[in-house]
Amino acid sequence: MAARPRRTNIKDDMHTRRTFLQSIAVSPLAAVSPLVLGAATPLNSRRPPLAKRNFTSEAVEAKIREVKKSIADPEVAWLFENCFPNTLDTTVRTGMLNGKPDTFVITGDIDAMWLRDSTAQVWPYLPLAKDDRKLNAMIEGVVRRQTHSILIDPYANAFNFGPTGSEWAKDLTQMKPELHERKWEIDSLCYPVRLAHGYWKQTGDASCFDADWRRAAALIVQTFRQQQRLHDQGPYHFQRLTEVPGDTLPQGGYGNPTRPCGLIHSGFRPSDDACIFPFLIPSNLFAVTALEQLREIHSTVLGDAAAAQSCAALAGEVREALARYATALKPKYGEVYAYEADGFGNQLFQDDANVPSLLSLPYLGCVKADDPLYLRTRRLVLSEDNPYFYRGKAAEGLGGPHSGLNMIWPLGIITRALTSSDEQEIAACLTTLKATHAGTGFMHESFSKDDARNYTRKWFAWANTLFGELILKVHANQPRLLS
């Protein structure tokens, strides 16, 4: 996610579209087809001209053509064609480093690479990589660039292309010129594992698991152990001179107090907002999944039984602590996951649209989509008992504190659809996404629940590519929703 001062509401510089039909404020119980609205915007391509695209993949272009043919609604097809290749068109910078592929991926309107965002931005292209050598090399380059970044600093969330410094250079932490920002977030180390593991599984190429990757993997495990804080506070602290409480950590930069219990501390959420209780539950669940993926790589590809056992042991410790501290009984719902906890018995019950979220757990492979505990949690998350779930004139959906109250995030709507098997719910999400792009042809960071023309970040590649991933999933599993 971007740093807060760079995020602004945008009401101008957009194409007009006909008044939104208030009847599409969706509910999973609303019998709404996603293909009922006529296009009110000229459906000219919003992609850069071919010569100005950062990267072109023949496999991706072929997939766009294939899927577009199956989409009956011209506006949905147009959104897919604009959004799915947006990461490739506008955000990747490819090259070679030490004779190996190197790919730097910016978020969009911020010229820096987040470990989280860069993984999420290229993830939907993985199934196509084995059929496109150029695309394969590009994704391998992301894995190698992330490895390089983790070796610079495992506590940083975002990196510059080189040692150029940052607007956050005066943050009270151990900044380096290669860092854009140094907010410690558990998921920043989980996402590179997800990408490396996924790349290997999809392509069969294990060449990225070289000596540097093995050192980075060991550093990930070491950092997770440090942030269990079983014996001391660990080496990481962070403070920022700011009027925004969510941009800094209390208690000398170490965060609010906890009782050591085996869970991993996170200074910040995937929104880049400070945790209230430092045991961020969805990120701890994601860490267990990442550690299991590391164990598999070490035990199979690398034949390193000791490293595999170390990963398995830590995953077991976190899993055991989650069983004790991650859930509670809530009226109307029964046992559900908390969003954050502190080990003293205090828990926060909410969710945030940024991934990892409680809603996204099946998408990340952390739980089964039909797991009863997850389904009960999902009911709470998608209800007014979650303070960051909004219903308005334009839409309903998850938000979070990062963009302010009453702002819905397309990431949350897309994640809701990606984690659902209910065609009616998926259709309602598609309807909302179609009705709230404000005539731009792209997804945004967030928009007002009452007026989608009031939105933040007109160039946010993660949301765009994730929308493309959703369309691909619907095309594969629920094609009649598009036909």
pLDDT in tens, 8-45: 443 333 332 232 223 333 333 233 343 333 445 689 99
Residues 67-89 pLDDT 10s: 999 999 999 999 999 999 999 99
Which of 399, 462, 481, 475 has the alpha carbon at shortest distance from 124? 462
Whether residue 196 is predicted with pLDDT greater than 90 in this model: the reply is: yes
pLDDT band at 345 (very low <50, low <70, confident <90, very high): very high
Indicate the helix (H) or strand (E) that contains 417.
helix 410-418
1 or 198, which is more confident?
198
Q: What is the arithmetic mean of pLDDT over 126-137?
A: 97
Q: What is the arithmetic mean of pLDDT over 296-312?
A: 98
Residues 243-257 pLDDT 10s: 999 999 999 999 999
**pLDDT for 409:** 98
**pLDDT for 42:** 82
What does pLDDT average to over the chain? 93
> What secondary structure letter does DSSP report for 277?
S
3-state helix, strand, coil in the chain (%, to 5): 45, 10, 45
Question: What is the CA 25 to chain-centroid distance, rounded?
Answer: 24
Tokens for 110, please give them: 């911020």
Whether residue 258 is predicted with pLDDT greater than 70 in this model: the reply is: yes
Residues 6+ apart with CB under 8 A from 143: 192, 195, 196, 199, 208, 213
Whether residue 106 is predicted with pLDDT greater than 90 in this model: the reply is: yes
Question: What is the CA 207 to chain-centroid distance, rounded?
Answer: 26
Which of 46, 324, 314 has the alpha carbon at shortest distance from 306? 314
Q: What is the arithmetic mean of pLDDT over 377-405?
A: 97
Taking the alpha carbons at both ends of the chain, their separation in whole angstroms is 34
Q: What is the arithmetic mean of pLDDT over 308-317?
A: 98
**pLDDT for 41:** 67
pTM as predicted: 0.93
**pLDDT for 319:** 98
